[in-house]
Structure 1
Amino acid sequence: MVLPETTGALVYRMRPAALSDRGRIEELATRRFAWMKRTGHEPWPQTAELIASRAGDGVAPMWVITGADDVARGCTIVLDTLGRAVFTDEECAEESLVLVSTLTDPASTGEGLGSRIAWWAVDRAGREGKAWVRRVTSEDGLVRYYKSQGFDVVRVREFQGRPVVGMQRRAQLLGPMERLTAE
């Protein structure tokens, strides 16, 4: 795992998304989707508006990563229940956190926000006594990126006509210099 450079000060924070974050999340999702289109990545089935509507909705447990200014720079939904498209019944029975719909603002490229979100989840799962952090993707580029964060491929299955890759990483307590993100 390669850690971003840091001065030692925690500049980023993870917090539950609030209704007041919806506009900002829609903006960053719109920018991310435009970036994906320009760079030849598969579009998401969700719209930026739909993703933003999950902030503070009381249903989908969305979290945002913010800078010192408390402005959302990325988001993710953290579930404790796995879907069965890729994972087995036995894996679904294991205690885990599942990251879905993770987006970061392309304007923050180079800040390592996606890795910070992943490491926060690994640490949080460790603090909660969970065994794993899991995620799924259908993008080869994200498989490589998640591997750089310490995730391993569990299996690939076809779901709704496309290959879906299930990945996992052991939960663990990370020291403050590894975590780099406060809660």
Structure 2
Amino acid sequence: MRKYNLPTEAYRLASIEIELLKIAGIQGVILDLDNTIVSEDDRYLSPGAEAWIEQAKSADIKFYILSNGKRRYRVKYWSYRLDIPAINPAKKPFPCAFRKAIKHLRLKPKQVVVIGDSRHTDMLGAWFVGCPFIQVATLPHPFRWWEKLLGKRVQTPYPTDGELWDFNNSEKYDL
């Protein structure tokens, strides 16, 4: 079988080709939550993300969520909704949570890809443990304090002409 090099960037989660992950030997995915699947202000949902996750699960790809999000009930809600175990707070980029996720998946680091929007948490954490990484464009969200300080976002911005799905959480994170 021909070895395939994974892309390092993708427009959004659903634009990553599952078959190419399989060809590259990927059997597991560590996913970021905030601004990768749903915007941290709960305004937007990454188009096609939930269907993509289900298709990948059908292709025998395992998942784990690592989140630094401060609102733990959101991570619990999404973990339940997507039927994916999660660690929160993950304290990314420190490797402890990444190692726990890899151990839970029962895979080697080279068999697990980390997918997230952040270079300084997701990508750096993946590098620390030896996993490949795919950066997706960050969903629109309010500037964080450190982004205000820098005067810019450090993530790849979501394209202004890109499709966005509104997230109307009528359940208000009740489980």
Q: TM-score, normalised by structure 1?
A: 0.29
Question: Bigger relative contact order, structure 1 or 2, given CA contacts below 8 A and separation 6+?
Answer: 2
Structure with greater strand percent: 1
Q: Name the TM-score, length of structure 2 as normaliser.
A: 0.30
